[in-house]
Amino acid sequence: MTDSKYFTTTKKGEIFELKAELNSDKKEKKKEAVKKVIASMTVGKDVSALFPDVVNCMQTDNLELKKLVYLYLMNYAKSQPDMAIMAVNTFVKDCEDPNPLIRALAVRTMGCIRVDKITEYLCEPLRKCLKDEDPYVRKTAAVCVAKLHDINAQLVEDQGFLDTLKDLISDSNPMVVANAVAALSEIAESHPSSNLLDLNPQSINKLLTALNECTEWGQIFILDCLANYMPKDDREAQSICERVTPRLSHANSAVVLSAVKVLMKFMEMLSKDLDYYGTLLKKLAPPLVTLLSAEPELQYVALRNINLIVQKRPEILKHEMKVFFVKYNDPIYVKLEKLDIMIRLASQANIAQVLAELKEYATEVDVDFVRKAVRAIGRCAIKVEQSAERCVSTLLDLIQTKVNYVVQEAIVVIKDIFRKYPNKYESVIATLCENLDSLDEPEARAAMIWIVGEYAERIDNADELLESFLEGFHDESTQVQLQLLTAIVKLFLKKPTETQELVQQVLSLATQDSDNPDLRDRGYIYWRLLSTDPVAAKEVVLAEKPLISEETDLIEPTLLDELICYIGTLASVYHKPPSAFVEGSRGVVHKSLPPRTGSSESAESPDAAPSAGQAAEQPAVIPAQGDLLGDLLNLDLGPPVSGPPLAASSVQMGAVDLLGGGLDSLMGDESEGLRSDVGGSPAMGGSGFTAPGPAAPAAMGAPLGSGLGDLFDLTGGVGTLSGSYVAPKTVWLPAMKAKGLEISGTFSRQVGSICMDLVLTNKALQVMSDFAIQFNRNSFGLAPAAPLQVHAPLAPNQSVEISLPLNTVGSVMKMDPLNNLQVAVKNNIDVFYFSTLYPLHILFVEDGKMERQMFLATWKDIPNENEAQFQIKDCSLNADAVSSKLQGSNIFTIAKRNVEGQDMLYQSLKLTNGIWVLAELRIQPSNPSFTDLELSLKCRAPEVSQYVYQAYDAILKN
C-alpha cells in the first residue's frame, strides 16, 4: 500500500488517537504514528500539541524513525522553544553515536533549529563533529557552522569555530574542503570587512587539488572562491588557469560558467604575447558553444553570459558566428539574444554571411523578431563600414516587400546610416518618399520627417511632403511634432522664398495651439531666432552634426568589468550589479578585475591600454544622458564612498617601479579596483610601495662621477616657498546654454587640498535653488569631497562664490584629453552638463621631493624613449626665481648646477596617483636675448608629460 493512507482522516479526536499511538510499546505502531504526524504537518495541520510525545520517540536506534522525529523538531522548535530544550540531551548523545550517519543527522538538525536558547548547548557537540574521524560528519558540521553564524555570529566567533573552519580547508577529503569553502564564503558575504578567506598560494594549491575530486556543487563553491583570489604575478595566474581549464569540459553548465569566470578574471593578468594566452582563448570557445545545445532556458542564461564575454574579449568567439544563427524553433527570447551577439561579432570577415542570415530573418512571421533583424542590418552597416553599401541595398530590397512594419523599421535605421555616412547614400531618398503614406508608427514617421528636413534641398517636393504631415499635427505624438517643427524650419532656411507660409503655420501650431511645454519652448526659440537673426538661426539649426558611434548599447567598461566577476550568477543575466537588485547590504561587495600586470605589458607598454582592443574603439566619452541622469538622482548624498583598498599583494613592486605604473589605472578598464587606500594615497600603480626593492641599492652604488653624477655634489639654490599658482576664472557654462545659470571657475591647491572655486550667477528671471554637482569618471578620480553648499536661494542677477573641496578617490577612466573633466550641475530648473580642462599642477602632491640618490637611479632606469623635450617660450626669469615659483606649486628642485654658462635645474614632482615625473630645466642667464627655457621630462607614463609641460608653462608665465 502507498503512503497515501497517512493522509486520510480519522473520525474520532485525531490528536488524541495519535498521542496514544505515539506512546505505544510496539515499535511499528510508534513509527506509523510518527509518519501520520509528519503527514498532518505536511498538509498544514497544527500538530504542535504532540511535541513532548514525538520528542520521546527520539530515543531509538531506527534511523528512519529518528529522521522523521528530527524533521518534526525542525518545524516546531521555533514555536515551542521551551519544549525544544528537552531534545538537547538526545542531540548531545546522538553526536557520540557509533554510526556516522546518525552523528551527521544530529549535527544537521542542530543547525536547522533556529532557537537562541538552544544554540549554546550545541557548541560542544558541534566542536566534536568538526574534528570527527568520518569525513561525512565533518562536511555536515562545516555547513552547520555557517547556519549557526547566521543565528548568533558572536557565539561562533567566541567559540573559535571560524578557525576550525579555516583548518578544514586543508582537510584530506575534497568534499569537506568544498563545504568549508562554501561555509566561509557564506559567512564572509554577510561580513565583507572580515578577512575570513585569507587565501595564500598554499591554500589555493589545496583548493585546486580538491577541485578535481568533489561533487559539482563543491566545485562551484571552490571556483567561486578562487575567483576572489588575487594572484601575486602572471606566473601564478597562469598556473591557476592551467589547473582550472579541465573544468571547462564538465557536464554541469554551472561548473563550466564558474570556470569561465575564473579564467576571464585571471586572463587580465596574462600578457597577450604569451603562447598560453592564445591557447586559453582557443580553449574557452568550445565549452561556451556546447552550452548552446542545452534546453532553451539554459541557452538563454548562457547567451546572456556570452554577451558579456563577447563585449570584453570578442576574439574568443570570433570564428563561432554560425552557432549564433537562429533556429526556427528557438523561443523568441533566445532568438533576440542570439541576434544581439551576432551583431557584436560581426566583422569584415563574416559580414556577408551575417547579412544573408539577417535578410532571411526579416521575412519571418514573428513581428518582434523581424523588427530586431531589420535594426540589426542597420547596426551592421554602422559597425562595419565596408558593408554599408550591401546593408543599404538589403534594406531597400526589404522596403520593396511593402510589409508595413519592415518598411518602418528600415526607415528608422536608414536615418542612422545617413548620420554615420553623410553624403553617401542619399540616392535612396526617393524610394523612401514613396512609402510615406504607409507610415503609422511615431518613430518611423519622425525618422522620415528628419530625412526630409535634413535633405530638403535634394527633394523637389519637400514642402508638399511636410505639409501632408501638418494636416493632422495635433494628433501626432510629441516625437513627431518636434521633428516636424525642426524639419520645416530647416526647409525654410534652405528655401526661404517658397516656404514662408508653411513655417508660419507650423510655428503658430506649435506655440499658440499646443499645450506641450517642450514643443512650445522649441517653437518660441525658433520663432525668436528667425525673427531676430536668421544667420544665427542657420548656424544653430543647420550645424554640422556629430557622427554617431558604432556600438551604442555597449555596457559601460567599469560595469562590464564588475559583471565579468559575476559570470554564472543572476547579475550576469540581468546585466546589473548585485547592488541594483539585492535588498539589504548582503552580497553587495563591489568586485573588479585585477589590474593588468602582464610581464611585457607593465605601465610603460603602449598596448597595455585597451583591453582586447575594445576600449580602444570606445567613442568619445560623453555618457548617454541616461547614465549621467541616473547618477544625478543620488547626487550629493555625501562624499563619494571609496571602494575597498586593493589587496597588498597587488602593489608590492620593486624600486624599478617606484614611479608607479600609476597610469595603468588610466588605461581604461581597471578603474573600479583602483579606488584610494584608506590612508588617502591612491592604491594605484606603485604608490603602495614600502621600501625600494633590490634594484635600487645596486643603482645607487654605481659610480657617481659621470654625467649626472657630479650634480649631487652641488648645493641647489632652492628658492623660498611662494603660493601655488591659480589660473584666472573662466566661463565654463554660459547662461544661454543653462537656462540662465552661468558658471565660471578655476581650480586651486592649498595646503594639500584641491578646490574648485566656482562663481554661480543667476541670469534668469526666476529664483534658483537645490544646487548639486557631480563629476563623470575621469583620469585621476577627481570627485567632490562635500556637497555643493549654496546656503540661500540664488535670486535673479545675483552671484555667489563657492569653494568646493575635491578629492581623488572617485572612479577612474582614461579621458581624452587626459585632464578633461565632465561635470553635471543640477538645480530646481534642470540638469546641465559641461566639460572643462583642469591644470595638472593641482594634482602635484606636497611630498614630491625625491632623494638625490633615488633621483639619479630613477633617471637612469626610465628608458630614453620615455623622455620628452619641450620649450617654454619668452620666460626671462633667473634660476632662483624659476625654482621658487615652481616650488610654490609642488615642483621641487633637487639640485642645480652651471654648465657652460647654462643653469641646469633637476626637479621632481609626484601626482596624486603615485606617478613620479623627473625634469631637467635649462636656463641661459648669460644671454638676455635668448629667453626660451628647455625642459626635458622623464616619466614611466609618458602620456602625462604633455600636461606637466602645460603646467610648467602656465606657472612660469604668471
pLDDT at position 188 over 90: no
∠ CA(359), CA(360), CA(361), 5° rounding? 90
Per-residue DSSP letter, 910? E
DSSP string, 384-400: -GGGHHHHHHHHHHHHH
| Range with the poorest average pLDDT among 511-515, 592-596, 738-742 | 592-596
DSSP string, 203-217: HHHHHHHHHTTS-HH
pLDDT in tens, 414-454: 888 888 888 788 788 888 888 877 888 889 889 989 988 88
Strand 753-762: give its sheet, edge to edge.
730-733, 741-750, 753-762, 799-807, 783-784
Q: Binning pLDDT at 50, 70 and 90, where does residue 550 land? A: low
pLDDT at position 702 over 60: no
What pTM was estimated for this model as a whole? Answer: 0.58
pLDDT at position 111 over 70: yes
Q: Binning pLDDT at 50, 70 and 90, where does residue 679 land? A: very low
pLDDT at 363: 84
pLDDT in tens, 457-470: 888 888 888 888 88
pLDDT at 928: 67
Cβ neighbours of residue 840 under 8 Å, at least 6 residues apart? Answer: 819, 911, 944, 947, 948, 950, 951
Q: How far apart are CA 438 and CA 401, in angstroms?
A: 13
pLDDT at position 669 over 80: no
pLDDT in tens, 242-259: 889 998 988 888 999 999
Q: Percent of the chain having pLDDT more than 90?
A: 15
pLDDT at position 618 over 70: no
Q: For the chain, how many residues are written? A: 958
pLDDT in tens, 143-184: 988 888 888 888 888 888 888 888 888 888 888 888 988 888
Q: Binning pLDDT at 50, 70 and 90, where does residue 551 land? A: low
Q: Is 159 helix (H, G, I), strand (E, B) or coil?
A: coil
Q: Binning pLDDT at 50, 70 and 90, where does residue 910 land? A: very high
DSSP string, 22-48: HT-S-HHHHHHHHHHHHHHHHTT---G
Long-range (24+ apart) CB contacts under 8 A made by 891-894 are 891/841, 891/844, 891/848, 891/919, 891/952, 891/955, 892/718, 892/848, 892/849, 892/850, 893/716, 893/717, 893/718, 893/719, 894/716, 894/849, 894/850, 894/852, 894/855
User: Nine-digit cell at 90?
Assistant: 538526545
- Residue 611 or 956, more confident: 956
Q: How far apart are CA 397 and CA 243, in angstroms?
A: 52
Q: Which residues of 520-548 are buried (b: 16+ CB within 10 A; e: fewer)?
A: eebbeebbebbeeeeeebeeebeeeeeee
Stretch (H or E) spanning 430: helix 429-434
Stretch (H or E) spanning 443: helix 442-454
- The label of the residue with cell 502507498 reads 2
pLDDT in tens, 472-515: 888 888 899 999 999 999 988 888 888 888 888 888 888 888 88
DSSP string, 89-131: HHHHHHTT-SSHHHHHHHHHHHHH---HHHHHHHHHHHHHHHT
pLDDT at 713: 38
Q: How far apart are CA 135 and CA 176, in angstroms?
A: 6
Q: Is 895 helix (H, G, I), strand (E, B) or coil?
A: strand
Cα→Cα distances 360→356, 373, 480, Å:
6, 9, 31
Q: Percent of the chain having pLDDT more than 70?
A: 83
Q: Up-side HSE of residue 513: CA atoms within 13 Å toward CB?
A: 12
pLDDT at position 712 over 50: no
Mean pLDDT, the chain, as a whole number? 79
- Residue 191 or 686, more confident: 191
pLDDT at 759: 94
Nearest 5°: phi and psi at 200?
-135, 170
Query: Which among 928, 929, 956, 930 has a CA at the least distance from the CA of 919?
Result: 956
Query: Which among 64, 49, 55 has a CA at the least distance from the CA of 17?
Result: 49
pLDDT in tens, 35-78: 888 888 888 888 878 888 887 777 777 788 888 888 888 888 77
| Range with the poorest average pLDDT among 115-119, 501-505, 899-903 | 115-119
Cα→Cα distances 263→62, 281, 445, Å:
48, 10, 48
Cβ neighbours of residue 753 under 8 Å, at least 6 residues apart? Answer: 805, 806
Q: How far apart are CA 88 and CA 78, in angstroms?
A: 14
